[in-house]
Structure 1
Amino acid sequence: MGHTARVGAFVWISAGSLAAWLWLLLCQGFFWRTDVRLPPRRDPETWPSVCVVVPARDEADVLPSSLPSLLAQDYPGRAEVFLVDDGSADGTGELARELARRGGLPLTVGSPGEPPAGWTGKLWAVRHGIALARAREPEYLLLTDADIAHTPDSLRTLVAAARTGGFDAVSLMARLRVACGWERLVVPAFVYFFAQLYPFRRVGRRGSRTAAAAGGCVLLRTEAAERARVPDAIRHAVIDDVALARAVKKGGGHIWLGLAERVDSVRPYPRLADLWRMVSRSAYAQLRHNPLLLAGTVAGLALVYLVPPVALTAGLAAGSTATAVLGGAAWLIMAGTYVPMLRYYGLSPWLAPLLPFTAFLYLLMTADSAVQHYRGRGAAWKGRTYARPDTVGEES
C-alpha cells in the first residue's frame, strides 16, 4: 500500500513538472526563441551625438580586445568615448590612453575615486562618466562594459534602431564566450534562464510590466536617463542592468532587449570556479535576499529541471509507465526549448539533454550565493563586497 502511494505521489509530481513545461513553452513569452534581434531600422537624416561610457576596474587583460573596437566605430555623427578607471591596480587607465594613441574616436579617461556608502563601484563609475559626458550634451549614452567588443557598425545600428522604433533604451545581450568545456555547458544556459525570467518579447512591448536590460550594451537616451534619475536612483543595485531598465520603464520610457549579432564578450571563464563566481555573486540579490524566495526558487528548479530525468529513470526502473512517460515528455520539451539557444551559440544540439545537470549547478550556485551573503561575503566583486540595500543609509 505504501509503495503504491509513493508511486502515485511521484506520478502527480511528474505531471506537475510536465504541466509547468507546457506553460513555459506556450505562455512565457516564447522565451526559448532566439529570433529577437535588432528591429527593422533606417538611417536618420541627422545622426545624433553619442557619448560612450565604459566603467573599468582591473580590466587590463581584456581591454586590448575591446576598447579598440569602440574607438574604431564607423559612426556618421559626433561620438566620444569616456573610460572611467574605477580604482584599478593593473594599469587599466594607462593602457586605455596608450590604445587611444593609435587613432579613432576621442577618448577621455577619468577616475572617480572610491564610491561612497550606498553606491556600487560600477554605478559610481557610470555616474562619473555621465557627468563627464554631460558637457558634450549628447542625445544618447552608450553604456558598455570593458569586456565587450563591438563590430565597426555596432553604434550606428543601435542608434538607427532606437530612432526608428522610438526606443528610449536599446540593449543587446552580448554573445558570451563558449571556447572551453565549462563555458559550453554553463554559458548558453545562463542566457536561456535570463530569457525565461525576462522574456525579450515582453520587455519590448508597450504596456508590459516586464523590464530588463543587458548591462554590457545599453544605448540610453539622455533625456530618459535624466527623467529616470539614472544612475542615482539605482545606485545600490548589484543587478544594475535590470534595475536600470525598470527605472526607465517606470519613468515612461520605451525599452527593447534582444540577442546580439554585433556585440561580443571577450572575457574568458575557463574554469567552473570562474563561472560559479559570476553567477553566485548576484543570485541571492536577484531573490532580494529573501529566504522564502530562495526556498521557492530551489523547489521550482527541482520541479522543473530535476524531476523529469529522475521521473523517467525511476519510472522505467519501477515499471511505472505513467511516471516514465510524464518525465520523458517534460524532459523532451525542456531539451527542445534549449536547442535554439545552443544553435545561436553554434553548439551541438546534443548538449540539450544535459540541461538538468546544468540547472543543478545553478541551484547549487544560488544556494552558495545565499550562504556567502549570510557569511558577509555576498555580492563580492574585484575586492569589494556590497551590503543589502536596506542596510545602507540613504543620501540626503
Structure 2
Amino acid sequence: MSRIAVGTPDFKRSNRAMFFGGFSCFALLYCVQPLMPLLAHEFALTPAQSSLSLSISTGTLALSLLVSSVVSDRFGRKPIMVAAMAVAALMTLACAFAHGYGQLLVLRALLGLALGGMPAIAMAYLGEEIEPASLGLSMGLYISGSAFGGMFGRLLASTLSDFLSWRVALAVIGVAGVLAAGEFWRSLPASRHFRAGAGGVKALAGGLRQHFTDAGLPWLFALAFLLMGCFVSAYNFIGFRLLGAPFGLRQSVVGAISFLYLLGIFSSVWAGKLADRLGRRGVLWLVMSVMAAGLLLTLSGSLLVIVLGMALTTFGFFASHSITSSWVGRRARPPQALASALYLFFYYLGSSVIGWLAGVLWAWGGWNGVVALLGTLLGGALLIARRLRGLAPLEPVQALAPAG
C-alpha cells in the first residue's frame, strides 16, 4: 500500500489534523509562559519559582514520552493522540479553578503527563504514513501548527489576563484545546502502515540500544535538548525584562511579542522544503547561526533591536527544529515511535532543565546572565551541527524511508 503523497486528499487531511495537534500541544503547554510575572505577584514567588509552572509540565511530559511511545507501538497511534489532547485540555480548564500555587503545579504536572501521548507519536505517524519525498514538508506543517499554537496560547493568555484575569485566560484556552482535539479526531486518516509490536520493558530496552548506538541519533537528541532549552528560556524571561525598567510595558503589549511565532510558522515549512531539496547537513548549521545571532541582539538597550533579536531567534529555532525532527524520522529504524519519543524527551527535558537554570542566572545577572548561559549552550549546539555535516547516511531498508 502506497504512502500518503503531496496533493492527495489524505495528505491534506493528515496535515490539517497534525496542524491542530501541534497547535493544541503548544497552546496548552506554553500558555502559562507570559503569565509567570502575574503568578509571581499573586502567589509571592521569585521568577525562578514562577517558571516551575512551565518547567514541571515539560519535565513530566518528557518522562511520559517513553512510556506512551511503547504503548502506541502496541495499540496504535491515533487513539493515544486523541486521548492525550482531550485530557490535557481538561487539565487546563481545571487550572483555572486552582486554589493555590501548589494545586496549580499538580494540575500542570498532570497536563504534562497527558501530553506525552501526542508529540512523539505524531512524529512516528508521519514517518510511517507520509512518503519520504514529502516528509520534510509534512513535518514542517506540523511544526508550523506548533508555532501557531505557541503564539495563540501566549497572546490570548496575555490579553485576557491583562483585561480580565489569568484564570479566565486558562479557561478559554482549555475550551480551545477541547475543540482542537475534536477536529484532530475527525480529520486524521487511520494508520495504514502501522504494525503492532511487542511492548514492555524488554522492547523498550532493545529500542534504546538500537537508537543510542546509531552514529547520528544521539547527536540529534542533544540538539533537541539545547535548542529547545535555549528557545523556551528566552521567552520565559524576556517578559520579566520588558515589564521592568527601563521599558515598563503592559502585560498585553509584552504578550504581543508572541506574534513573532508567525515567523516560526513560515520558517518551519520553508526549512523543511529546503532540507528536502538541499539536504539537512548543509542547511541546519545556517539556521542555527541565525538563532544565535538573534539572541545576541537582545542584549541591546533598544526595544526595536530586542524585538528584531527575538524575531531572528524564533525564525532560527523553528527552522532548526523542523530539520532535526524530520532527520530523526528519516534516520530511525524500528521502533520509530521510540526514536521520536527520545528526541522529544530531550527536547522537553531541555525546556525544563535549562528553563530552570536560566531562572538561577536571571537572579544572578539579569538578562545578561541569561544570554551568557544560552549563548554558551548554542555555541555547543553549533559544534554538534558541524559534526553532523560529516555523518554518513544509512543504507535504505525495505519498507522504510531512505535514511538521512
Normalising by structure 1, we get a TM-score of 0.25
Normalising by structure 2, we get a TM-score of 0.24
More helix by share: 2
Larger Rg: 1
